[in-house]
Amino acid sequence: MDRVGFDKFKHKIKNFNFKGDNTMILKEDKFIQFNEQIKQQGGCKKVSFEEGEQIAAELLQELTKSKTGVGIAAPQIGYDAQVMVVNVKKPMVFINPTILSLDDEIIYKEACLSFPNKHINTHRYKWVNIKADNFQDHYSCGGSMVFGPTNEHMEEDGQDPDGLLEGVCIQHEFDHLQGITMYDRRYIVPQVKSEKTYGRNEKVILIKGDESKTIKYKKAEPYLNDGWVIQ
pLDDT of residue 210: 78
What local confidence, expressed as pLDDT, does residue 19 receive?
A: 35
Lowest mean pLDDT among 1-5, 26-30, 172-176: 1-5
- Predicted confidence (pLDDT) per residue in 213-226, tens digit: 899 988 988 888 77
List domains and CATH numbers for the chain.
3-185 (3.90.45.10), 189-231 (no CATH)
> Does pLDDT of 178 surpass 60?
yes
- Regarding predicted confidence, which is higher, 193 or 201? 201
Q: What is the DSSP letter of 218?
A: G
Cα 79 from Cα 73, distance rounded (Å):
9
Contacts of residues 217-226 at CB distance under 8 Å and 24 or more positions apart, as own/partner, are: none
Of 152, 173, 195, 221, which residue is the catalytic one? 173
How confident is the model over 101-133, as pLDDT tens digits? 999 999 999 999 999 999 999 999 999 999 999
Which residues in 139-150 are b (16+ Cβ under 10 Å) and which e?
Answer: beeeebbebbbe
Phi first, then psi, for residue 51 (nearest 5°) are: -65, -40
Is the Cβ–Cβ distance between 40 and 179 less than 8 Å? Answer: yes
Q: Between the CA of residue 167 and those of 83, 128, 131, 147, 227, what are the distances in Å? A: 16, 6, 13, 5, 32
The 211-216 sheet, strands edge to edge = 211-216, 203-208, 229-230
User: Are the C-beta atoms of 169 and 88 separated by less than 8 Å?
Assistant: yes
Whether 211 shows a pLDDT value over 90: the answer reads no
Bridging pattern class, strands 145-147 and 211-216: unpaired
Write down the pLDDT at residue 209.
78
Model pLDDT, residue 8:
32
Residue 193 confidence (pLDDT) = 61
DSSP per residue, 55-70? HHHHHHHHHHT-SS--
Mean pLDDT of the chain: 85
What does the pLDDT read at residue 127?
96
pLDDT in tens, 4-59: 233 333 323 333 333 333 568 999 899 999 999 999 999 999 999 999 999 999 99
pLDDT of residue 9: 34
Is the pLDDT reported for residue 175 higher than 60? yes
DSSP 209: T
* Whether 62 is catalytic: no
pTM: 0.73
